[in-house]
Each structure stands twice: as C-alpha cells, then as structure tokens.
Amino acid sequence: MKKGLVLGFVVFAVIGFLCATSAIGADINLAKKSTIEKILKRGELRVGFESGYIPFEMTNKKGEFIGFDMDYGRHLAKSMGVKFVPVNTAWDGIIPALMTDKFDIIMGGMTITQERNLKINFAEPYIVVGQAILLHKKHKNAVLSIKDLNNPKYIVTSRMGTTGEQAIKKFIPKATYKGFEAEAEAAMEVINGKADALIYDLPFVGHQYGSQGKGKTIFLSDPFTYEPLA
C-alpha cells in the first residue's frame, strides 16, 4: 500500500510539474505576443485619441497635440524608452481602430462601461469625473439640478455617442435633446442662447464656462454621475 501510495504521489507530482512547465511556456509565448512586447520591439507607443476633449486632448495654434492625456502619454513612452506617436482618431471609430491595431492604447478620457469592456480591456482609472450642467443664465433660479430639466420645453445638448447623451436619456428623457458631433458645438449652442443646457463631463463643462461662458451661463458643478476614466 505504501509503495502504491508513493508511486501514485510521484506520478501525480510529475504530471503536476509537466502541467506547470507547460503553463509557464504558454505564459512566455503569451508575453512575447503581448502589446507591451510589440511596443518595445517596434520602438513606438502609438496612442489613439480625439483632439477636442478639453483639457485632456487639444490642438494648439502650431498644430501640436497638447493636454493632460498627451503629457501622460509622452511620459509613459519615455519611461518605456520608446517614441511617442499620437494618432488622432474620430471618436465613433476609436474602439474599432484599437481592435484592428491602428494604435496600441487609447488615452482619450474614456469612461469605463460594461458595453465597452466587452470589447477592450481597461487599465485602472486615472481620474474620476461625472456629468455636470452648463446652464443658460435665463434659468438661474428655475433650474437647480438635473431633474428640473426633465421637461420638453428645455432644449438640452451633448455630444452624440457619449455618456453625456446616455445621461440625458436616463435622467431627463422628457427633455428635448439636440445631439452634436463635437462637444464644443454643443456648448456654444447654450452659450449663444440657442439651447438651455449642456450635459457633459465636468472638466470640459468647467473649462467652457471659464473660457467662454461667464456672464452668459451658469455652471452647476456638482456631478450627478460617477464615471471613472481610463
């Protein structure tokens, strides 16, 4: 019985060792095919984003890409010892572009959602934001929170295909929604008095208020959603 037990243990141990060795080999092969390995081999970190998401990604007068994400990307590339390559991409095609290897990572203030997570992997969030409101000044005392906008008489703007648009449909479905291709256009609609409120990410709304909206709009700065960006 003892011989059989020892023999069985040895056989089990050998099988376990072979399985472990096989797993290690698989891990090594996987590492060789990883995105990081490809970046190091190529000598370039290709970063996908869409310019215009202030203050994260912008284009200056010289045509250079600047902003928080651009600085972050340059620092990341430098720490890896590779060249930083920005790839400006339309937002509605940014995930398909990543999936077809047009670039290595997205650094575009993308909110982590379950729908997106089914297609791509997210890193740990580097900032948490939420949806805020840029309100035309004529509604100073009438609108104090998001729920007050849930009325067809209010024209509410945002950028199409974003969590701002989703928030409007979820929290104020009765409002008259007007979607835009760019968040700057949606903001100007409110600043120029053609719409009543903009619903969008807090950093962008705050920037638009500070740069163009003072005296014309009201910044309701308490976010009504919780959105980690990665």
User: Tens digit of pLDDT for each residue in 190-227?
Assistant: 999 999 999 999 999 999 999 999 999 999 999 999 99
Instruction: Give per-residue pLDDT as tens, 21-57.
Output: 444 444 445 444 688 999 999 999 999 999 999 889 9
Picking from 109, 140, 161, the residue at the C-terminal end of a domain is 109
Domain contains 78:
yes
Q: Is residue 172 within 8 Å of 147, Cβ to Cβ?
A: yes
- Identify whether 67 is part of a domain: yes
Residues 135 and 224 both lie in one domain: yes
Res. 88: pLDDT tops 70: yes
- Residue 192, SS3 per DSSP: coil
- 132 and 105 belong to one structural domain: no
Query: What is the residue range of 161's domain?
Result: 128-229
Asked whether residue 198 falls in the same domain as residue 132, the answer is yes
CATH label of the domain that carries residue 213: 3.40.190.10
The conformation of residue 110, written as its DSSP 8-state character, comes to P
Question: Does residue 23 fall inside a structural domain?
Answer: no
How many domains would you assign to the chain? Answer: 2
Query: Which residue(s) pair with 178 in the sheet?
Result: 157
If asked whether residues 75 and 102 sit together in one domain, one would say: yes
Q: Answer whether residue 17 is part of any domain.
A: no
Residues 6+ apart with CB under 8 A from 145: 220, 224
Distance CA 67, CA 213 (A): 21
DSSP assignment letter at 112: P
Q: Are residues 95 and 138 in the same domain?
A: no
pLDDT range class, residue 19, cuts 50, 70, 90: very low
Residue 2 lies in a domain: no
